[in-house]
Each structure stands twice: as C-alpha cells, then as structure tokens.
Structure 1
Amino acid sequence: MFFNLQPCFPGFCVCVCACVRARACVRVQSCHATKPNLLNVHLVPHTHDDVGWLKTVDQYYYGDRNDIQHAGVQYILDSVVDQLLKNPDRRFIYVETAFFYRWWKRQSADVRRTVRRLVDEGRLEFVNGGWCMSDEATTHYSAVIDQMTMGLRFLNDTFGPCGRPRVAWHIDPFGHAREHASMFAQMGYDGFFFGRLDYQDRSRRRIAREQELLWRASDSLTPPMADLFTGILPNGYNPPEGFCWDQSCDDPPIRDDPDLEDYNVDDVVKRFLAIANTQAKVYKTNHIIMTMGSDFQYENANLWYKNLDKLIRYVNGRQANGSRVHALYSTPSCYLQELHRANLTWALKTDDFFPYADDAHDLWTGYFTSRPALKRYERISNGNLQVGLRGPQWSDHRGPQGSDHRGLLSGKAMAVAQHHDAVSGTEKQHVADDYARRLAGGWLRCQVLVSNSLAALSGSTAERIYCDKLNVSVCPLTESSSKFSVNVYNPLARPVSWPVRLPVNGTSYKVSDAEGRSVDCQVCVCVCCPLLKTVCLCVLVLQFLRVTFDPDTGLLSGLSNLETKQTIKLTQNFYWYNASDGNNSKSDQPSGAYIFRPNSSTPFVISRTAKTETVQTSVLQEVRQWFSPWVSQVVRLHGDSRALELEWTVGPLPIDDDLGKEVITRLDSSIQTAEYFYTDSNGREILQRKKDFRPTWILRQSEPVAGNYYPINSRAFIKDEVDQLTVVTDRSQGGSSIQNGSLEIMLHRRLLYDDVRGVAEPLNETSALFPEGLVVRGRLLLSLDRPPTAADAHRPLAQQAVLQPTLTFTDGDGRWSPCLQFSGLQAALPPAVHLLTLTQWDEDSVLLRLEHQFQSRESKENSRPVTVNLQKLFSTLEILGASELNLSANQWKDEMKRFHWTPQTGM
C-alpha cells in the first residue's frame, strides 16, 4: 500500500483495519423555509459554555460555586431538551462535547431516544463538536487534532452522520490562527464562524461588506483543500442590544396583552426591524444571522423560547403591512446553506487574525505568555499522551481502557487543557490549578500503560520509576543508587540525538548503551550561588557551533555555524516592561491576563553584565550566567548538537515597586531584517510578519510594542539573504521584532491589576512552594543556517522539542532484561514525514496519521512529495487493509463533500 504525501499536508489519516461504512444521515428537511424577496433574519439560539474559566469544569457542569458565577450546564441541557419538544419550530445548537458527554452518560434510555430524534430532525444541531472550543494562539496543532477527534468521535458513535457538525464555531477565542482554519477545512467543515476580530479590521470590513469571506488557509495545499468560508458574527456572540431574554439578562420581555398598560409589541418590533435593516447594510446577501444567547444561558430555556416565539410571530406579522423582514429559527448550517445558494464571490484572505485588539490601547497579546508554567506543563503532557497512546501498539498490551482513546484520562485532561481559557492562561488561579491537577492525574494513568508496555517489550517486571522533576534536578533513584538503568523512549519516527541530564550523588560514573558500549558522559558540579567573577574569557566550541562572549560583560556576543562557515554578531540579555496600571492620560487600560500594555516602549535592562562560571568538557560546554537574584541562565553547547541551548530561570518577579513586570529575553543580531520576522502558526506553517503592518488593512498603530506581538507556538526566526537565526521554544510564548535584527520573546508575567475582561483577578501567581511568586524555567534552542536550507534544521528541531524522549528508571544495571532495545518501525521515516498519530481505534483497527511536515517551497529537498509504503512501515503491526479518512477521522475521505466557494476575480 503506497500513499503519497504532499508538502505541509497533515490530513493523511488512515484507519488500518477492515472497516464498515456508516449509514448516511437521512434527515427530514430541517431548515425552515426562507423568502427570496425579503431580508431573512436567522435567529440562532445557543449557549456558550466555557470548559473552565471562572469556575472549574466540574463546578460549571454541576452549578457549584454560584457565588463566583451563576452557571450550571447540566440544567441548560435539561431545560433546552424540554423546550425543544414543546414546539417543533424551535432550534438549538450545542458546541462543547466535554459537557454534553457528561450529561449524556447520566440520561435514561427514554431521554436518549428523544435526543437522538431531535438530532435526526435537525432541531438540536452540534456545531464545532470538539471536546472544547480550543484556543487558537497557544495550542499546538497535534493537540488540537486530538481534542477535535475525541469530541467528534463521540458524536459520530452516539448519533451517526446526523450528529456530524458541518460548521466550525469559535465565537470566543481571542484572535484566529490560519492553521486552525486549514485544519477545519481538512476536517470537512463547510464554514467557520467567529465573534472576535481587531476593531480596525471590523470597521473596514463593515464598510466594504467583507464580514463574510473566503479564507485560503495554506500556501502549500492546492485550493480548495484548505479554503474555508468564514463569517464574522455581528454582535460577538451576544444577542442584539435589548433582545436578551435569559434569567441573567435585564431586558424587558415581550408583553403582548393589549389589555395591559405596558403592552410593548410595537416598540419591540420597531427596534428589531431597525437593527435588522442596519445589520443588512454591512453584509452581502438578503440573509443575516443573529446569535440569541451568551455565556451559560438557557438554564431556564422557557424564558428565551417564549419570547423568541413571540418575536418571530409579531415580526413576520408585519409583512402583511409591507415589512420586508422575515425572522426564523435557524442554525449556522442552515444560514450557511443560504449563503452558498446565493452563488456570490467572496473576498479572499490568506493571512491570520492576530493580534486582536478591541480598542486602541487594548491589545490581547499578553495571554500569548500568561501562566508560562502551565503552558509548559501542557506541552509536556501532550508528549506524555502520545507515548501513552503509542506504547500499547508496539507491545500488544492493552490493559484497562488501554484500547480506548476516549477512556484515557490523559486524553480527556489534554483535551480540556486546549480550551481558550485553559492553556491560554486567562482563567482564575484555582481553575489553573485544576487544569494542572487533571494533567498530573492523566500522566499517572499513562504511566501504568507505559510501564506495562515496556515490561512486555523488555521481558522485565522490574518497577519503573518516573522522575517528573528533572527540570529542577530531582530524581531520588538516580541520586541514591550506585547502579541504575535508564530507558529512553523516542516517540519520533526517526533517530534523534538527545542529551540526558540526571542528578547524581557522586563524581565518577560509567555509562554504557544497550549493547554494552561505553557512552561519553560528564559529571558537572552545580553551584547554588553566583561566583564573584564578573568577566567571561571563554569561547564555547564543539563539533558544529562556536559561541563567543564579551569579556567585559559576560554576555553572549557572537554565534558561528562551523559547517556552513557563517558568523553573526549576536548579543542576548534580559529585560522587563513595566505593566501599565491604567492610570495615565492615553487610556485607563492596565496589563492583565489577556492584555499586554507596557507603560513605555523601551524595556528596562535587568543587568548590563552577568556573573559567570564556565564548564568545558569534550561532551558538554556551559557558561552559567547570573543577571540578578531572580534571573539566571545556562548557555549550553552539546558535542553533537547543531543548536545552542539557552536554559533560562526567571522569578520570583519582584513587585516591591507596586508595578507588574513582563520579562523578555532579546536577541540582537547583525542580520538585516528590514522590519520583517517570521512566526509559526500552531506549530505548522510559517507566516511572515512586518512591524507596524497588517496585510489586509492600513494599520493605525497606537501600541508600538504590544501591537507588534504575535503568538510563537514552536519557533520564530529572522533572516536576510545570507543568514537565518531561528529560535525554537519549549512552550507557547509571545514575541516580536521591535528593532531591526532583533527577536524578543516574553518569558514570564506578573501583574497587579485585573485587565477588566471578565476574569476579575490579577495575574499574580504564587504557590505553597513559591509564596513570593512563581519561578519558571524554560529552554530556547538557537540555530544559525543559510535561509534556503534553514527549514531542514529547524522543523525537525521543533518536532523534537514537542515530542521529547520519555525517560523511565529501574534500580540496578538492567543487564538481565531479555530485550534492551526495540523499534516499532522497520526503518526510519523520510525526513519530510512525521508520525503524528498512532492509536488503537477499536478492537481490530488502529488510527494512523502521517504528515508531510514541510511547507511548499520551504526546502529544496524536503518540500517534495514523498511516497510511503505502509506495509513496510511497522515491525510489529501486520496491515491487512487501510481506508483513508478526513483529518478528524469522523468521515471517509472519499465521502467528504464540502461546499465550493468562489473568490472574487483576480484572487
């Protein structure tokens, strides 16, 4: 079986099995009739249910802690189902499968039959359908695909094709990534709707009537493979002003008894017609959409539906008197169907919707870095999940729930963590703690699966230890045992070189590999306090790189690639921006969990010199730098590495001056950038950025720093005709190039004021271990290459940072194990091909995703199409057959039919 992979194509998804075709969705006509000569107003009843934000997931579901926010999702679903049964004209859409799954598990057989009928009849429609509505700036594409697959699979298994969402619905995320649109297109969605975009962009689009557009979301995939119709909702995701009829709203109900003095039907209809006609002026067709609902609404659905029934009846009754407005219950897919029937051409967009601002000084770019410790833990957990899913495939060990992706606790915890108020860092502190607790619990479950798989592969039943605190040099086994063995599992489908650093209690160790051959190692003495040395006379040189330091300051001063004979000037230091407290003449907007607003465009340098200590061996060379009591770094060069490692430690951030701090590291180089720099989109394709510029409108820049920040999910770079400097991150962070030749990355934030976006809490993280404020440690990898071939280095490097080797430990030397090494592959995959997913799908099949990870025209060699022979891929799996699915594995690829949309001429 041969499959051809095209550049930057993550959609190759096969079910390796003997597969059964599902029935088609046989649904009665569920969309209400529209009137071609009138303005049709599609009223969409909906609720927006955050999978954690001000309350935890559990608190939101059960309706607990209503002193924080009145919200109980179980009651919403109870009430909506009851009200849908009372009037067959009514419609409702639901989004978050994480909540619906919980509710469904507790329903009786009669209720389940009723809900299935509502779904089959199109009265209850699922949109989006992922486990959550994911963030788009700080999520990695692999985790997004997993959480979407989890939610969509549940809907598929439960409701069949009628439960398959046709529309992606991201009404709340704070900016929108091109890669998300590309993934949604490859998952088979016909359209995408969202609520938030930059206020300047919205203003221009309203005038040009371009609030509905065609998003061409990849420059590698042949159109229309990654084309996605995209609609911008008129009121965010709220109802029009004056038309909110939830128990949480204050708008008056429709009082339609003419015998009463407060009869208000005429006033309600007049206001509604005015709003509808005004909205129609900024959209292109005679169809407009209105979202009738908001956060956690419809707990008492009777309030909404009773008033909506009246609204539709009285508005449409005016048609007899010449009104040209027709109101109807609708859903996003019904609305989209009418737009498609209009057969118009649509404005084309090829960039993304970052950064997002809702006013001149209110840039939502702080959350790109908020809660950096949680962001790192989420990334580590993603790697742990992949190990937990793949391990049983090699060993044929399933264990309890081992064959069920949905049942894997780690999978659910990771899926919840993708929510736009989770990994984004925009939740309350107790909710962030809950996300971390869930991820930790998921990893404990994964450890059982991994241990059992390794035991089956090695033939050893020895207890396996996991040292989860190696980032702070803690591992009780390695620190106390004179002999121990280390199992290194590489989740990538190609060999990697990876340094293993362990805390030990001794000065001399011998290390051997699985075949008994000696492995180079070095014991380095750790220093707990800075030396008094203030100068650095060293030059770090190993096989591939040469690093120089300024002898007077101890700071990095140059970088050379010895293979390509490149040398650039390169300095690096740490700075902070003082966070605005909202008390200034331009705006009262402070920095907070969402918003980055420095009170000056010039950051403060933490120190102009670094105290240093040098370690130089044949295996490892380091310069340890201390900049202040709360900022230090290790500049590290490994013998066989083509990347320079910067391991930074920042915190606790001092707040004695009553000002919040936003700490960055800045790399200043001799590269001539001409104000251009490059960032990734969710870890996939690269987008070009330019300072003070937006591709689709003329920008009025009012925040020269925050207005130039973009999300960096895995890597960013600057380049000219000769040199390219790439930075690979270990978590999602915000960054920019404010000065020519520079690249800055925000590492840590500690803020003293709430930014008035709903969380009602300053981003001032502390813990029992760090009562003075969190200390965060992270790693940046720097590579210097020639621009035409730089991707050949930084793409694999970025994958290594996401899927790092997993270490397990056993006491003793482990030489008695029957099998000391194993590979699940017959041979390494080609450089351009990445094994994205390998997981048990059902009893007789596995889900396999292979992706071409290089962008079109990115690499002379590796951007070419690649052919993979599945029958020669695995060493332990016998492939009897394979069928190709869409990216989210909820539809056969050959049955995926999407609406075709036409871009405007010349686009």
Structure 2
Amino acid sequence: MIGKIHKQMSHDSWLFSKMATPEYTPFVFLLLLFQSSVWGVPVCQTPQESPTCGYKSCHATKPGMLNVHLVPHTHDDVGWLKTVDQYFYGDRNDIQHAGVQYILDSVVDQLLKNPDRRFIYVETAFFYRWWKQQTDDMQNTVKQLVNEGRLEFVNGGWCMSDEATTHYSAVIDQMTMGLRFLNDTFGHCGRPRVAWHIDPFGHAREHASMFAQMGYDGFFFGRLDYQDRNRRMVAREQEMLWRASESLTPPMADLFTGILPNGYNPPEGFCWDQSCDDPPIRDDPDLEDYNVDDVVTRFLHIAHGQALVYKTNHIIMTMGSDFQYENANLWYKNLDKLIRYVNQMQSNGSEVNVLYSTPSCYLQELHRANLTWPLKGDDFFPYADSAHDFWTGYFTSRPALKRYERISNSYLQTCKQLEVLGGPISRKGPFGAGDSETLKKAMAVAQHHDAVSGTEKQHVANDYARKLANGWAHCQVLVSNTLSSLSGSSAPRVYCEHLNISVCPLTETMNVYNPLARPVSWPVRLPVNGTAYSISDAKGKVVPVSQATAAVRQGRGYAVNELLFQVQAPPLGYSTYSVSLLQNGPPSPPSPLPRAPKAVQNKVWVLWYNASDGNNSESIQMSGAYIFRPNTSTPFIISKTAKIETLQNSVVQEVRQWFSPWVSQVVRLYTDSRALELEWTVGPVPIGDDLGKEVISRLDSSINSSGVFYTDSNGREVLQRRKDYRPTWNLRQSEPIAGNYYPINSRAYIKDDKDQLTVVTDRSQGGGSIQDGSLEIMLHRRLLYDDVRGVGEPLNETSDIYPEGLVVRGRHLLSLSPPATAADTHRPLAQEVVLQPSSMDFEKEFSGLQAVLPPAVHLLTVSQWDQDTVLLRLEHQYQASESKEHSQPVTVNLQKLFSTLDVLGVSEMNLSANQWKDEMTRLDWKAESGTHHTGVTNQLCLLSPLGRMKTADLL
C-alpha cells in the first residue's frame, strides 16, 4: 500500500480501517470482519427523497436584466463582546442584544411561510447546539428546508476562523469538525459549496488554498484595504481567480473569490431588523406616509450604481448583519414587498430583477457567464479601512492567549494520537472517562476571528482560556488511560504545564512524548532544589533559576535551581529519563563565558512604540486591540546596556540580560543546536506615564535585504513582502510602521545572496522589516484607549496573579544559514515549536510508528474517526524549489506506517474529510492570463489488502 506524494505543499487525507496487534484488544478485529471493505465507510448520507438543494434549488434569473441576488443572513460571532454561551442564550443583553437560539427559531418559522424565501447559516458551533435541543419533528422540518435549498449552509466550519493568527492545522481541524456534523446530519445537502469569511480583518493565501482543497467552488469576503477596493471598483475587478499556491498544480489551489459590495451589511436605508432604524415599506396607498415609490427609486439607484463596479449582470446584496433575524418576520415581510414592488416596475420598462438567493446561487450565475477573471497571487494583508487605520495590532494582541492556543493545539494532536494508539481503553480506563472532543471543541471555538485574534472583551478572553483548560483536563484523563494500557501501570500521572517558568512537580522520572513523525532532540529544564543529579541516558547540569523566572512565578513554585539536559524522543512516542539526586547543597558557581563583558551592547534590541492616543493632527485614530498606530516612527530604547549574568557548561551557553524591571531576555545556545534561542519576558508594562506601549524585539544584521522580507502564511507557504509596496496596486503609504507590519504565524526571514536570518516564533505575532537588514517582531501590547472598532474597552490586560499588568514570556529561535539550505533548518524547527513534546511521567520507551517518515513528509493528523476507522493526513511540507533535497516527490508505505495498528484498507478524501476525493468536483474558471486548467495530472493509486485498487486525485 504505497502512497506517492507528488506535489510540494500538498495535503493528503485518508480514512483507513484498523485492527490491533493480537495482544491489544483483539475484539476490534472481530468487528472488522463484518465490514465488506473500507470503501463502504459512509461519509455523506443520501437523502431518501431526491433533493433539490444546492445549485438545483436556485430561483430562475432573467437574461438581459440586472439580476439582484438578495441574501438573507446573520453574522453570529462565536464570542466577541459576550461569551459563546451568552450569545447563544441571549444572556447579558446589557452588553449587546443578541440571542442565537431565537434567531434560528425565528428564521425556521419564517422560511416555512413562503417557499421562495432563502436563508444561509454559517457558524456550526451555534447550529449544533440549537439542533441538539430540537424535537424530532422540528429536526425533520429543518431537514426538509435544507433538502429544498431554502436553508443553506455556507462555510460550515465550527466557526469563521481568523486568517492572520491561526495555524493551518487548527483551521483544518475546526473546519473538519463543523463539516462532519453537517454531513452526518444532512448528507449531501448539508455540504457547503461556498466559503464565507465576511468579517475577518484581512485574508491569507493559505486559507484560500485550504478552501480549494476542501472542495469549495468559491469564496466571498467583506474586508480589504480601502485603496485596493477603490482600484478594483474602478477596474471592475472585485471578483477574481485566486491562485493560492505557488507549488500546487492549477486549478488545485485556485479559488474563485468575490468581494462583497457593502462589507456584509445591507445597502444604506434597507435594514429591517429590530436593531435597525430604517423605516419599513409602507404600501397602503390610502395612508399619508405611503413610501413604496421612494423605496423602489432608491433601491434601483443603488442597484445600478453597484452594477457599475462589477463585471456581470448579476449583483449580490447581503441582507443582514451581526446577530440579526431574532425577529425574522421584520426582515422577510419587508423583503417580500421589496421583491414584489421592484419587479412590478419591469412592466414599465425596468430591467432590474430582484430575487431571494444564496451565495452559491449567485456564484452559479457568475460561472454561467463564462467570462475570464483577473488572477490574484498574493494575499490581502495588511488591511486598512482608511489612511491611518491599519488593522495590524491584532497580529500580537493578547500574546498570552495566543500562546495558550498554540500549545493547546499541540496537546490536542498528542491527545488524538494517543486516542488512536490506545484504543477504546483510552476513552474509558482506570482513570475514568476521558475524551478528545472537549478540547477539539474548545480549540475550534478558539480559531474564531475574535478569539485567538485577541479582539474580544477581557471576560470573553477569559472564557476562551477556561474552555481550553477544561479540554486539557479531559485529554489528560484520556492520556493517562492510554499510558496505563501501554505500560501496564495504573500509577497516577503528573503533567508539567508550567515548565516555561520552572514549575513542575516531577523530580524522579521524566518522560517526553513526541507528536512528530520523526525523532526529536529537545532541551528540558526541570526545576530542582538539589545541586547534582544523575540522569539515565543523558548528561545534565544544574544552574540557578534566574531572577526573572523567580519573579514571574509569583509564588507558584520555589525551586532554586534548574536541571538542564537534552532528551531524545522517538516518532509518535515516548522516552523515559530517570533522575536521581546525588548532592544537596549550595550550587556550584557557573562557568563564565570567555571574556564576558559586564554590559552587553545589544544587537537584539528590545524597544517600544508610543501608542497613539488620538490626539494627532493627521488623524484621531487611537491604537487598540485591532489597530496598531505608533505615535512616531522611531521606537524608544528601553536600555542600550543590560545587567547580565553568564553561564556556560556542557549543555548550554547562556547570557541573561535585564534591560529594566519589566523587560529581560535570555540568549541561549544549546550544544549541537541548530538555532539560537531568545527567551523574552515582558511585563508588567508600565503605564504610570499615561502612555500605551507596543513592545518589540528588533534584530539588526548586516544582511543586504533591499527592503524585502518573507513571512509564512498560517504556518505553510512563505510569501515575499516588500516595504511600502503592494503587488496589485500603487500604495500611498500613510503609516510607515503599521502599514509595513504583517502576520507572522510561525517564522519570518530576511536574506541576501550569502546569508538568511530566520526567526521562528512560538505564537502568532506581528512584525516587519522597517530597515534593511532588520527584522522587528511585536511581543506585547498594553494600551489605554479603545480603537473604536466595537470591542469597547482598551487592551489593558491584568490578572489575579499579575494585578499590576500581564507578564508574558516567549521564545524566538534564530538561525543563520545560506539561503539555499535555510529551509532544511527552519521548516522542521517550526514544526517542533508548533508540535512541541509533552513532558509527563511514564515507565518505558514507546513509538507508535514502525519507521520514521521522510523529512519532507509531515504527519498532520492521526485521529479516531469512528470505532474502526482512523483519519490520517500526511503532507508534503516543502514548497516548490524551496529545498534542493526535499522539494521532491516522496513515497510513503502506509501499510508499514504504524507499530500498533494493521491497516486493512484505505480511501482518499478531500482535505476536510467531507467528500471522497474521486467524487469531489469543482466549478472550473478561466483566468484572464489565458492559463486554463481542467484537471489535475498527478494521481495516487491505493491498493487495499483485498486487492482492490482505487485511483484518486491527490490534494
């Protein structure tokens, strides 16, 4: 069973049936005997009646007329000003009047009253909760509405994810969760045809690539830079073909993309929700305030104006907004009248036809137009809605939450892997009932564009963190059960969650689980009070805990020393290290570094920008959770020199730097390490001077970068950035710092012909290259004003532990390599940071793989699908021409991949696992460049043990 991964940067998803080795829960094999073959595993339900959903359900349009597609919709944030629970139930309406359960109740009631009406719904996290509360009769009614295309799901992920601060692996997970529920519940008619990101604050190329590989026919969004929009309106290029990968063969990552005309709001004067103030249509001619003629005239004027900036005789209008349709009768009663009275004008020569529609029906008409479309190859960052209002602050906002989300993603992958390797006992074993679902849902919610983005109210951010912590607790029970099964020991398990501040109860046995499919070498710093230890299979050194670490612990740990040693962990497996105390006394003095100076002149600067308070002659815009707007273009230096402490031993060389009471840094180089580590600690950021502060780390080098630098897109492909430049329009730069910041999800670099300086981050952050040879990355933000984008409070984080202001600690890994080989270092390094080993106690070494995967192949997903089926995703992680050695096709033997599982059969699916790959068809589009592809040339042959062969297009 050989799978050949032909294309660089490709994802490959398979469902495979499994059985255990004989000594491992042998009854699974008996269950598998009842399966005819893996190809029969159901993915999509087939409705009993012939459905008329999707493109078949669209209302007829009129050729030769301007067809106006009215799309009734609601935008329901999965947390923002209120928590997810508060939004669903309609609680805390003193903050914002919103109740999602009432929206769905009301919409279904109104759809039943008129078969012409349509409605789209997006956020599966809310719909799932509502669905579970409905009676069988109501569920059957809703299924009928879906089968008839009257209620249509678009996007369909658990949430509408952020595109700047999310990692692609977490996005794929949350999309898979939402789309699987729709598949399981509604079958073919529940599958969305259109991706719908109407509210995220800029758009990533990797998201478009993922949507294309998930089988979407098109993508619509609402926000883009105001200069870009103006140019596209004049050129009538608001709809385009987005070529979202430089490596995948077109049209594999091609996605038709449309920009909505009014964000996601209705045209001015045509909002008929209970939250709106626009007058209703008063159509009794005997009344003095009859206004039909005025409404029709204004609507026709708006429609004709919109048609001037789009390419076909079809235009779309979004009739809804945030949490609207709680009283859907208000909307539909007026929309019914609008359609009737505008269309009556056709008898008087009007050439405007109005209809209820959906994004997919609108998309179908654009496809039928058979036009060629402009081609887009870059992304839509950064986003600005006016000259001094760049939404680049949220790239860094709430850095502690961003880090917690990232390590929660790592732990979720560990949890899912062990659920597969452990079998049924992992979910119900000696430590009780454990599950991965709780953390899956918490992580899915955290991908929302007002969650990990950091653009929510403080109490909502706290709720996201609480949900993640609850998910960790459920996964820890599952992990303990699996370890008990694999080791034969039911001893209590202890987990280290605060090693970054040298707090952990483990002192005798340390085990490290590696979720990557290749061996890793990882430095461990174990808090201890002794001064000499022996470690099985490793050499360790004891060093004193730094003053910064002791201060940041705030009484949560009291170890005076750290035991440093390097661990080796097998792929998808554990290594165990026994630690024995040899000596307990005063620590030995550290070995000084050769010729260590008493003060260090910085080449890595820590600086801060003064955040704008709105008192500026150019603009009153203030810095806030969304907006980054420094008051000047020159950052303030915290200190040109630093108090230092140095140490050197056989494990590490370390320079500890204190720039001020609220900023410190440790520069580390571990023995045989591929990268230099910068551990930064920032906070509490002082605000006694009434100045908000944006704290950055700046790396200056002699590299001749010529105004060019590179950032990753959601952790996958890398895009080139150029200072004061946009590839698709002539930029008028008005904010020289904020307007040159981009999202850095996992890494960024600068280079010239000789050297490449790469920075790997441990969370999503914003950054740029403001000066040649320089990279700056924003670490922390503390602001005193709201930026008037809706959140209604300043980004001024405190906590019970840090009442004076939040303290944040993180790491940057720096590597300097020749450009030709740099990717061979920074790609695996970034994967190690994203999927970092977990430290816990265990009694033996174990690996879930029979063999190490090739360096170019990343094991993205191993997850239990149903009782006997596992979802497996492998990806080729190198871009075309990125690596001479690794940007090549790779062969993987799936049959001999796992050590505890026997693969009985395999079937390939699309990226989101909601369609069989050989059944996935997408609309074909023509680009203005003349490049037009009708299919994918590279294919994969999968051979089951039963001798059945299946040919499927690779993702």
Same fold (TM over 0.5): yes
Give the aligned partner of residue 495 of structure 1: 519
Give the aligned partner of residue 565 of structure 1: none
Distance 1:24 1:286, change over 3 A: farther
Instruction: State the one-letter code of the partner of 2:488.
Output: G
Displacement of 1:405: 12
Residue of 401, 413, 423 corresponding to 1:396: 423
Unaligned runs of 5+ in 1: 479-483, 532-541, 557-570, 811-816
Give the aligned partner of residue 524 of structure 1: 543
> 1:407 and 1:724 mapped to 2: Cα distance?
40
Give the aligned partner of residue 536 of structure 1: none
Residue of 432, 444, 450 corresponding to 2:479: 450
Give the aligned partner of residue 584 of structure 1: 616
Secondary structure, in 3 states, of the residue corresponding to 2:263?
Answer: coil
Displacement of 1:461: 1.2
Structure 1 window deviating more from structure 2 (407-416 vs 21-30): it is: 21-30
Distance 1:205 1:499, change over 3 A: same
Give the aligned partner of residue 883 of structure 1: 907
Instruction: State the one-letter code of the partner of 2:16.
Output: V
Give the aligned partner of residue 403 of structure 2: 376
Instruction: State the one-letter code of the partner of 2:279.
Output: P
Secondary structure, in 3 states, of the residue corresponding to 1:461?
Answer: coil
Displacement of 1:8: 3.7
Residue of 704, 713, 716 corresponding to 2:736: 704
Secondary structure, in 3 states, of the residue corresponding to 1:881?
Answer: strand
Give the aligned partner of residue 793 of structure 1: 825
> 1:76 and 1:351 mapped to 2: Cα distance?
37
Provide Cα deviations, 1:35-86, integer angstroms capped at 9, x if missing partner: 0110000000000000000000000000000000000000000000000000
> 2:289 and 2:831 mapped to 1: Cα distance?
65
Displacement of 1:552: 6.9
Secondary structure, in 3 states, of the residue corresponding to 2:115?
Answer: coil
> 2:465 and 2:245 mapped to 1: Cα distance?
33
Give the aligned partner of residue 564 of structure 1: none
Contact 1:677 1:690 in 2 (8 A): yes
Matches within 5 A, 1:404-803: 408-478=437-507, 484-512=508-536, 517=537, 519-528=538-547, 551=597, 553-556=599-602, 571-803=603-835
> 1:6 and 1:577 mapped to 2: Cα distance?
47
Distance 1:529 1:243, change over 3 A: closer
> 2:594 and 2:247 mapped to 1: Cα distance?
38
Contact 1:401 1:407 in 2 (8 A): no
Give the aligned partner of residue 481 of structure 1: none
Secondary structure, in 3 states, of the residue corresponding to 1:621?
Answer: strand
Give the aligned partner of residue 943 of structure 2: none
Secondary structure, in 3 states, of the residue corresponding to 2:265?
Answer: coil
Structure 1 window deviating more from structure 2 (883-892 vs 800-809): it is: 800-809
Give the aligned partner of residue 834 of structure 1: 858
Residue of 156, 172, 176 corresponding to 2:183: 156
Contact 2:45 2:183 in 1 (8 A): no
Contact 1:10 1:887 in 2 (8 A): no
Secondary structure, in 3 states, of the residue corresponding to 1:878?
Answer: strand
> 1:549 and 1:251 mapped to 2: Cα distance?
75
Give the aligned partner of residue 159 of structure 2: 132
Displacement of 1:636: 0.7
Contact 2:712 2:747 in 1 (8 A): yes
Give the aligned partner of residue 587 of structure 2: none
Secondary structure, in 3 states, of the residue corresponding to 2:394?
Answer: helix
Displacement of 1:663: 0.2
Displacement of 1:530: 11
Distance 1:461 1:406, change over 3 A: closer
> 1:155 and 1:457 mapped to 2: Cα distance?
35
Provide Cα deviations, 1:568-590, integer angstroms capped at 9, x if missing partner: xxx11100000000011000000
Give the aligned partner of residue 128 of structure 2: 101
The two structures, once aligned, show a CA RMSD in angstroms of 1.8
> 1:840 and 1:793 mapped to 2: Cα distance?
32
Displacement of 1:875: 0.8
> 1:784 and 1:23 mapped to 2: Cα distance?
52
Spell out structure 1 runs of 4+ moving beyond 3 A: 6-10, 21-26, 397-407, 547-553
Contact 2:240 2:376 in 1 (8 A): yes
Contact 1:404 1:841 in 2 (8 A): no
Give the aligned partner of residue 537 of structure 1: none
Residue of 266, 269, 275 corresponding to 2:293: 266
Displacement of 1:10: 4.0
Contact 2:75 2:322 in 1 (8 A): yes
Distance 1:554 1:828, change over 3 A: same
Instruction: State the one-letter code of the partner of 2:14.
Output: V
Displacement of 1:9: 3.3
Unaligned runs of 5+ in 2: 18-37, 551-565, 567-592, 932-955
Contact 2:374 2:928 in 1 (8 A): yes
Secondary structure, in 3 states, of the residue corresponding to 2:528?
Answer: coil
Displacement of 1:395: 2.3
Instruction: State the one-letter code of the partner of 1:621.
Output: Q
> 2:467 and 2:183 mapped to 1: Cα distance?
26
Is the aligned partner of 1:244 residue 2:271? yes
Give the aligned partner of residue 85 of structure 2: 58
Displacement of 1:396: 2.1
Residue of 408, 412, 434 corresponding to 1:385: 412
Contact 2:419 2:427 in 1 (8 A): no
> 2:610 and 2:343 mapped to 1: Cα distance?
56
Displacement of 1:527: 3.7
> 2:684 and 2:548 mapped to 1: Cα distance?
16
Secondary structure, in 3 states, of the residue corresponding to 2:522?
Answer: coil
> 2:330 and 2:257 mapped to 1: Cα distance?
31
> 1:81 and 1:639 mapped to 2: Cα distance?
64
Secondary structure, in 3 states, of the residue corresponding to 1:368?
Answer: coil
Distance 1:406 1:530, change over 3 A: closer
> 1:683 and 1:248 mapped to 2: Cα distance?
39
> 2:404 and 2:704 mapped to 1: Cα distance?
36
Provide Cα deviations, 1:490-513, integer angstroms capped at 9, x if missing partner: 00000011011110111011110x
Provide Cα deviations, 1:288-315, integer angstroms capped at 9, x if missing partner: 0000000000000000000000000000
Structure 1 window deviating more from structure 2 (460-469 vs 92-101): it is: 460-469
How many residues matched?
A: 862
> 2:46 and 2:647 mapped to 1: Cα distance?
66
Give the aligned partner of residue 563 of structure 1: none
Instruction: State the one-letter code of the partner of 1:294.
Output: S
Instruction: State the one-letter code of the partner of 1:771.
Output: P
Provide Cα deviations, 1:64-114, integer angstroms capped at 9, x if missing partner: 000000000000000000000000000000000000000000000000000
Give the aligned partner of residue 12 of structure 1: 12
Contact 1:405 1:841 in 2 (8 A): no
Instruction: State the one-letter code of the partner of 1:528.
Output: Q
Matches within 5 A, 1:169-180: 169-180=196-207
Instruction: State the one-letter code of the partner of 1:356.
Output: Y
Identity %: 76
TM-score of the superposed pair, with normalisation by structure 2: 0.89
Residue of 894, 899, 915 corresponding to 1:870: 894
Contact 1:405 1:411 in 2 (8 A): no
> 1:773 and 1:244 mapped to 2: Cα distance?
42
Instruction: State the one-letter code of the partner of 1:615.
Output: L
Secondary structure, in 3 states, of the residue corresponding to 1:871?
Answer: coil
Provide Cα deviations, 1:703-732, integer angstroms capped at 9, x if missing partner: 000000000000000000000010000000
Contact 1:637 1:645 in 2 (8 A): yes
Contact 1:554 1:609 in 2 (8 A): yes
Contact 1:530 1:612 in 2 (8 A): no
Distance 1:138 1:435, change over 3 A: same
> 1:401 and 1:415 mapped to 2: Cα distance?
24
Secondary structure, in 3 states, of the residue corresponding to 1:850?
Answer: strand
Give the aligned partner of residue 825 of structure 1: 849
Secondary structure, in 3 states, of the residue corresponding to 1:838?
Answer: strand
Give the aligned partner of residue 534 of structure 1: none
TM-score of the superposed pair, with normalisation by structure 1: 0.93
> 1:215 and 1:160 mapped to 2: Cα distance?
29
